[in-house]
Amino acid sequence: MARIIDAPLTTGEGWGCDPRAVHGQWGALDAAARRGLHYTPEVQAETAPLYEKVRHVIPAIEWPAYAPLISAINKIKKQKNAVILAHNYMTSEIFHCVGDFRGDSLQLAREAAETDADVIVQAGVHFMAETSKILAPEKTVLIPDMRAGCSLAASITGADVRLIKQKFPGVPVVTYVNTSADVKAESDVTCTSSNAAAVVEWAARAWNTDRVILIPDEYLAKNVAAQTGVKIIAWKGRCEVHERFTPEDIAELRAAHPGVVVLAHPECPPEVMAAADFAGSTAALQDYVVEKRPGKVVLLTECSMSDNVAAAAPDVDFIRPCNLCPHMKRISLEAIYDALVEMQHEVLIPEDVRVRAKAAIQAMLDLPKEKPRAFETGLAPVEVELV
Ligand code: 13P
Ligand code: SF4
């Protein structure tokens, strides 16, 4: 299978990725030295236990480039009472070596609401940092690179949601967390891929209706419709990473790797979900691999997921076709270091928007806490009403 080396910050063509393209970004290997940070014997000794967690993806020859930044970031975090919330798509040197809390969007939102740190650095994308600020307004929330967006969040505005509500009065609006604060502010309740089906079922019951608006991911909406039997009104947003997987990819993988277990994220098209063996949020995919220990597995999701899960399941053989999220990959160790040193790229939200967005997120957090819910695979496609 083709491997891309020195991949640019784009999802590019085809699939396959080299760990160096994913986490190293060769050009940045002198980033520590440019900041006056060096691989001293002290740094080497202090970071040696961390290297054990990432040695399966980072060649030993590259470690001296990362270790000084990791050591410096961990020291500054203590000085500034800061925590780093690291999404499952972060590269391994971030996820395992500087992340304080790791997980999917839902887990990170819960951590943001509960932490007693003064500063939150969101190692993820902008909407996740906004969620943290919405839940923890008294804290300073930093995003290491303001350009770390999301194709789903960019697909819809608050004004769009107001128009949808005018067209479907009285129908509850369930909004995926992959959206801006403005969009959440217009919504009744948010959901993540860990709880989308449960939230939609709850909204249908609470509003005593058989129709629910679920925006902005068309594929998530179709996948939830297939799980729940609730009639869904949807928006035509797509995740630029997951929309690229196809059932033909799965057929090729099964032919090339007999016995491989295929896991998919619910932002994938319904035909991909139908052909997969298991589907769920990034946390659900991680739990599946760690608990079931399949001999051979493929994760149809962002590239860094396999690298990160592999640390907890070293006996599992990961087949690694995947697609890079160019937004997630904007977050690097040097960007985190600079954000913490300069206290730069603070996420701010107008208070009236924040209060209304918080109500929608809180409605989700107040629902009974359950394990990330898996999506049933092999289901027939169900149509949704596209606005
Ligand atoms: P999770 O909620 O499953 O972590 O997904 C977030 C995301 O952006 C997936 O593309
Ligand atoms: Fe957005 Fe897709 Fe990237 Fe997730 S993987 S942040 S949904 S573009």
Residue nearest to atom 2 of ligand 2 (CA): 239
Residues 6+ apart with CB under 8 A from 362: none
The response to whether residue 214 sits with its C-beta less than 6 Å from ligand 2 reads: no
Residue with CA closest to ligand 1 atom 8: 178
Ligand 1 pocket mutation, candidates 127, 193, 322, criterion most atoms within 8 A of CB:
193
Q: If DSSP codes are grouped into helix, strand and coil, which group holds residue 221?
A: helix
Residue 328: pLDDT over 70: yes
Write the single-letter amino acid at 113: A
Ligand 1 nearest atom to the CA of residue 301, by list position: 10
Query: What pTM was estimated for this model as a whole?
Result: 0.93
Among the atoms of ligand 1, which is closest to the Cα of residue 104? Answer: 4
* 22 or 335, higher pLDDT: 335
Specify the amino acid at residue 276: A
Average of per-residue pLDDT across 51-79: 96
Q: Can you tell me which atom of ligand 2 is nearest the CA of 127? A: 6
State the average pLDDT over residues 306-317. Answer: 94
Residues making up the chain, counted from first to last: 387
Nearest-CA residue for ligand 2 atom 3 is 325
**Separation of alpha carbons 270 and 380, rounded Å:** 8
Same fold, 19-148+328-342 and 153-234+350-371+382-386: yes
Q: Give the number of whichever ligand sits closest to the CA of residue 237.
A: 2
Average pLDDT over residues 55-78: 96
If you average pLDDT over every residue of the chain, what do you get? 92
Verify whether ligand 2 is closer than 6 Å to residue 310 (CB atom): no
Q: How many percent of the chain have pLDDT more than 90? A: 89
Q: Is the pLDDT of residue 15 over 80?
A: no
- Domain boundaries defined on the chain: 19-148+328-342, 153-234+350-371+382-386, 242-319
Ligand nearest to the CA of 285: 1
Ligand closest to CA 192:
1
Question: From the CA of 306, how far away is ligand 1's center (Å)?
Answer: 14
Q: Which atom of ligand 2 is nearest to the CA of 326?
A: 3
Judged on CB neighbours under 10 Å (0-12, 13-18, 19+), 366 is exposed
Residue pLDDT, tens place only, 154-167: 999 999 999 999 99
Q: Is the pLDDT of residue 12 over 80?
A: no
- Residue in 9, 178, 217 to alter for ligand 2 test, most ligand atoms within 8 A of Cβ: 178
pLDDT of the residue at 28? 56
Residue 184: CB within 6 Å of ligand 2?
A: no
Instruction: For ligand 2, say whether the CB of 325 is within 6 Å of any of its atoms.
Output: yes
Atom of ligand 1 lying closest to residue 285 CA: 3
Q: Which CATH number describes the domain made up of 242-319? A: 3.40.50.10800
Domain 19-148+328-342: CATH superfamily is NadA-like (3.40.50.10800)
CATH class for the domain made up of 153-234+350-371+382-386:
alpha beta
Tell me what pLDDT residue 75 has. Answer: 98
Q: For the segment 93-136, what is each residue's pLDDT rounded down to a tens digit? A: 999 999 999 999 989 999 999 999 999 999 999 999 999 999 99
Find, among 226, 222, 244, 243, the residue nearest to 234 by Cα.
222
* Rounded average pLDDT over 339-349: 98
Q: What is the pLDDT of residue 14?
A: 38
Tokens of residue 1, six digits:
């299978």
Ligand 1 atom closest to the Cα of residue 152 is: 8
pLDDT, tens digit, for every residue of 193-235?
Answer: 999 999 999 999 999 999 999 999 999 999 999 999 999 999 9
Cis peptide before 321 (omega within 30 of 0): no
pLDDT at 322: 79
d(CA 309, CA 99): 14
Task: Report which of 372, 319, 14 is spatially closest to residue 197, judged by C-alpha positions.
Answer: 372
